[in-house]
Amino acid sequence: MSSPTPTPFPFVSWDPKTGEPARSDWEAFEYPRLRRFPEPDSIKLRRFLGRGTQGFVFEAKVGDKGPLTVKCFPQDERPARVAGKYEVIWPLERECINGALLDLITARLGRAKESGKPVHVLPSPKTRKKPS
């Protein structure tokens, strides 16, 4: 269901966040992509909750669901490397990747529960590579 048009960022997807992710294979975990909120026009910001170095947080309502929180990031470009070589954490990227991973994990655990098949976890991984 992915659009052939690339997204502005490699960690987001044009696919709508409805139902479970289409894939939950190893590659989906290795390169997680946050799916698009399906109804952005239905988000109503209700009040400002706070801010930090990474962004702003608002209480929101989506249709008849709520309260929810929405985090807004003012920095929409990857920060420059420090001294030309040290990568700086980009909060938008980290939050998108973490949200996508939580979505994948939730889906995988739900399918395991339905099928009665356990999810096998490597107890002490040494690398990010898929175990043989």
List the 43-51 sheet strands across, edge first: 43-51, 56-62, 65-72
Residue 26 falls within a domain, yes or no? yes
Sorted by sequence, the CB contacts under 8 Å of residue 99 that are 6+ apart come out as: 34
The domain of 56 spans 12-115
CA-to-CA dists, residue 123 to 16, 42, 73, angstroms: 33, 42, 35
**Contact between residue 70 and residue 45 where contact means Cβ atoms under 8 Å apart:** yes
Q: How many domains does the chain have?
A: 1
Is the predicted pLDDT of residue 131 greater than 70, yes or no? Answer: no
Domain assignment present for 68: yes
Report which secondary-structure segment, H or E, holds 58. Answer: strand 56-62
Residue 30 placed within a domain:
yes
Q: What is the pLDDT of residues 75-129, one digit of tens each?
A: 888 888 888 788 888 999 999 999 999 999 999 999 999 999 988 888 888 887 7
Q: What is the pTM of this model?
A: 0.80
24 falls within a domain: yes
Q: Bridge partners of 82?
A: 86
- pLDDT at 38 > cutoff 70: yes
Report yes or no on 53 lying in a domain.
yes
Residue 132 lies in a domain: no
The answer to whether the Cα torsion of 54, 56, 61, 63 is positive or negative is negative
Q: What is the mean pLDDT of residues 18-46?
A: 90
For residue 126, tell me if it sits in a domain.
no
Q: Identify which of 17, 7, 2 has the alpha carbon closest to the alpha carbon of residue 99.
A: 17
